[in-house]
Amino acid sequence: MQLGVVGLGRMGANIVRRLHRAGHQCVVYDRDPKPGLALAADGAVNASDLKDMVAKLQAPRAIWIMLPAGEITEKTLAELAGMMAPGDTLIDGGNAFWKDDVRRGRELEAKGLHYLDIGTSGGVHGLERGYCLMIGGDKGVFDRLEPIFQALAPGKGEIEPTKHRDGRNPTAEQGYLHCGPAGAGHFVKMIHNGIEYGMMQAFAEGFDLLRNASAKDGLPEEYGFDFDVAEIAEVWRRGSVVTSWLLDLTAEALAADEELGAYSGHVSDSGEGRWTVQAAIETATPAEVLTSSLYTRFRSRKDHTFAEKILSAMRAGFGGHVEPKKQG
């Protein structure tokens, strides 16, 4: 199939490469011409601007936008909507706020255009591992573009099948799912990221406890441990109930430097955690762990501990997130 991709950063460029490997054709555009030219050398069709991209795509067109949430995405969607024809589809694969998706779906439907919101998880490793896709929008459009989703998703791989799934949706175990109407995809991804905050915080606090449980002034004498946290992370990867990709990333970071000297512990948040807490308030749903993990990130920008260094190391591992440079 043919797909337009706008935004060729860490994830956007790898989405193009993964689709190309599966035999799909991508027409690409980025304000910075360098990544588009590099992808063109690998077989993509580079567009000089959005108008040129629309012209190079065959109807019914589908364009995937992979840009930061906010003004730049809104502006790009509006500009493309003015160029496209009824029956075409616009896709936002970034981390948008789900209520914006509901509004966009209605606005574009009035113009005869389709809209899909796709929560995309996989970070900088998606090219090889594949992307978990949580998709909202018209089911008919999802069905038409399903070969794209199949190519991007990781597939069953070596994960043990879940028992009692007979008769259930087969796409979920492939790593992609139509979650509902416009907004549903990014709502599910928002909750996914909220859970991610909580899981990361649990690992961070646990390793901080291990590191501090050695004989120190003021501690009872029975705290005579001298734990090697890198080795503990590694043994937990082998058969424990907390085995996960986040633990893999933690073990890798600790093996490289047990003190995590490259990290200050300043932990940013990208929005989804705040939106998750907002949804908890609006639905009167208790979410103590998720809320606390968000507040810890706020505190980390003023007071850092080893736990926050663990958080920073995990964020760098799965998403390539770099800590802000120190001021002054």
Active-site annotation, residues: 189, 196
- 25, 39 Cβ separation under 8 angstroms: no
CA-nearest of 303, 316, 315, 309 to 229 is 309
3-state secondary structure (DSSP) of residue 291: helix
Maximum Cα interatomic distance, the chain, rounded to a whole number of Å: 74
CA distances from 101 to 4, 109, 156, 169, 233 (A): 19, 12, 29, 24, 39
Residues 16, 11: Cα–Cα separation, whole Å: 9
Residues in the chain: 328
- 275, 169 Cβ separation under 8 angstroms: no
Residues 234, 212: Cα–Cα separation, whole Å: 19
CA-nearest of 197, 181, 176, 9 to 98 is 181
Angle at which helix 306-319 crosses helix 184-212, to 10 degrees, equals: 140
- 72, 12 Cβ separation under 8 angstroms: no
